[in-house]
Amino acid sequence: MTDIMPPGLALKKVDERIMTLNVGPQHPGSGHMRIVVQIDGDYIVACDPDPGYVHRGEEKMAEYRNYITNVPHLERPVIHDSCNVLYPYVLGAEEILGIEVPERAKYVRVICSELNRCIYTMYWLAIYGIFLGHSTMFMWPAGDRELLIDLMEKVSGARVTHAHFIPGGVRNDLPANFEDVCLRQVNYFEKRIKEYAAVFYDNPILISRTRDTGVLTRENAIRYGTTGSVLRASGVDYDLRVKAPYDVYEELDVHTNVLKEGDSYARSKVPWLDMMESCNIIRQALQKMPKSGSVRTKLKPNPKTKGPATVYKRVESGRGSLGCYIVSDGKTEPYRVKMSVPSFRNLLAMPNLLIGEKLGNMPSVYWSLNYWPVEADR
């Protein structure tokens, strides 16, 4: 494996031993993307990821819509993680518009955010299972995900694209008796994901396929700017919920899961451990949440900002640190919305990881990077 590899490297002239292989543009469960690999026999010698097939112009669209109507479309990049994708935008818009958020709304947001993180991770895990030909690991997470989708449906009224967070709080209060239902289903969910250890994580077939493949060292993980579970799997203790808490994460006890190996196995295990931590956070938030009170500050349908301002907010999403930079020129629409997405940052590590690997290990390395093509292209 070469030590330093510039991301998105240009294809070299092909000699007789080397074959260029187009993997894609295909839809590996999340959006189209292509990887151009050069192989020598069974070994990858060069790799050029080619994102951009699902570019939707979300950032440009945000310049023509006001701070409220931006909500339903800015969550589209990752519909399974829609609350977390919207979170930094909502935090930024609140600061620009100068709105205070009620205390109960902050707790509702934390609960929705953690539920969404689990929903996303379960979907990711299902695809990881089927990538490795493990169809039980496709069926189980896809089914158990339903427990949490049902909860989000009760809260927000939609299964995936919730449009629930809004500048000023959340759209609606929790339904009656939600705490009991949530606690029951989250506890059962946690019991279920612990069963995955025997069938998947302790399974020797998985271990032999993922152990020591695509090793990302601690130094390289920091150098390439990876984030989230990829960074934590390489031994860096970095979680924005702990390092730069937003909303009410300061008052909650969040534990960061760090593994040292930096291989595909560690990268696939950290999100699973994070899900258990999410269950803990949901239980804490349900306990500490004020039992009554407003959840939304009243706002005009077309709110005006006070004047030119810039703001950068970031949150820990299902894939890592997700930032949103908003520039306002005092009008009702933002002047510029720029998202710094974890998927693209994790993708930058891919050429380095794949070189020297066998072609058959590509799926296990590719999907363990927690890369979501639609989010990277926006």
Partner 1 sequence: MGTATGIIRALNSGIKHLAIKRFTLRYPEEKLKFVGDGYQFDPSTGVGIAGLKGRHMLFHDHCTGCQLCSIACEGVAEAIAMVKVPEEQKQNKKSIMPQIDYGKCVFCGLCVDACPFYALYMTNDYELSSFTKEGLIYTPAQLAVKPYLSQDSEIQITDRGATHG
Q: Which residues bind partner 1 (CB under 8 A)?
A: 64-66, 68-73, 136, 143, 146-147, 150, 153-158, 161, 163, 171-176, 184-185, 188, 195, 198-200, 202-205, 207, 294-299, 301
Q: Which tokens sit at 36? A: 């151009």
Q: Which residue has the tokens 């799997």?
A: 233
Report in angstroms how near the CB of residue 66 gets to partner 1 at its nearest.
Answer: 7
Report in angstroms how near the CB of residue 214 gets to partner 1 at its nearest.
Answer: 22
Q: Which tokens sit at 213? A: 């493949």
Report in angstroms how near the CB of residue 244 gets to partner 1 at its nearest.
Answer: 29
Report in angstroms how near the CB of residue 64 gets to partner 1 at its nearest.
Answer: 7
Q: What does the alpha-carbon distance between residue 33 and residue 49 come to, in Å, rounded to a whole number?
A: 8
Our CA angle for 51, 55, 263, nearest 5°, is 35
Coil vs helix vs strand at 2: coil
In the complex with partner 1, which residue's Cβ is closer, 159 or 218?
159
Q: Which tokens sit at 34? A: 């292509």
Report in angstroms how near the CB of residue 328 gets to partner 1 at its nearest.
Answer: 17
In the complex with partner 1, which residue's Cβ is closer, 66 or 257?
66
Report in angstroms how near the CB of residue 54 gets to partner 1 at its nearest.
Answer: 18
H-run or E-run covering 105: helix 103-131
In the complex with partner 1, which residue's Cβ is closer, 160 or 359?
160
What are the angstrom distances between the C-alpha of 258 and each of 231, 243, 255, 317, 353?
A: 9, 14, 10, 16, 20
Strands 321-329 and 336-340: antiparallel
Q: What does the alpha-carbon distance between residue 308 and residue 21 come to, in Å, rounded to a whole number?
A: 50
Burial (Cβ within 10 Å: 0-12, 13-18, ≥19) of residue 244? middle
In the complex with partner 1, which residue's Cβ is closer, 26 or 136?
136
In the complex with partner 1, which residue's Cβ is closer, 76 or 338?
76
In the complex with partner 1, which residue's Cβ is closer, 20 or 135?
135
Residue 339, phi-psi category: left (phi > 0), alpha (psi -120 to 50), beta (remainder): beta
In the complex with partner 1, which residue's Cβ is closer, 159 or 306?
159
In the complex with partner 1, which residue's Cβ is closer, 217 or 297?
297
Report in angstroms how near the CB of residue 372 gets to partner 1 at its nearest.
Answer: 20
Q: What does the alpha-carbon distance between residue 265 and residue 364 come to, in Å, rounded to a whole number?
A: 9
Q: Which residue has the tokens 């939707």?
A: 56
Q: What does the alpha-carbon distance between residue 333 and residue 70 come to, in Å, rounded to a whole number?
A: 9
Say if CB 333 and CB 61 are below 8 A apart: no
Q: Which tokens sit at 174? A: 């929790």
Report in angstroms how near the CB of residue 158 gets to partner 1 at its nearest.
Answer: 5
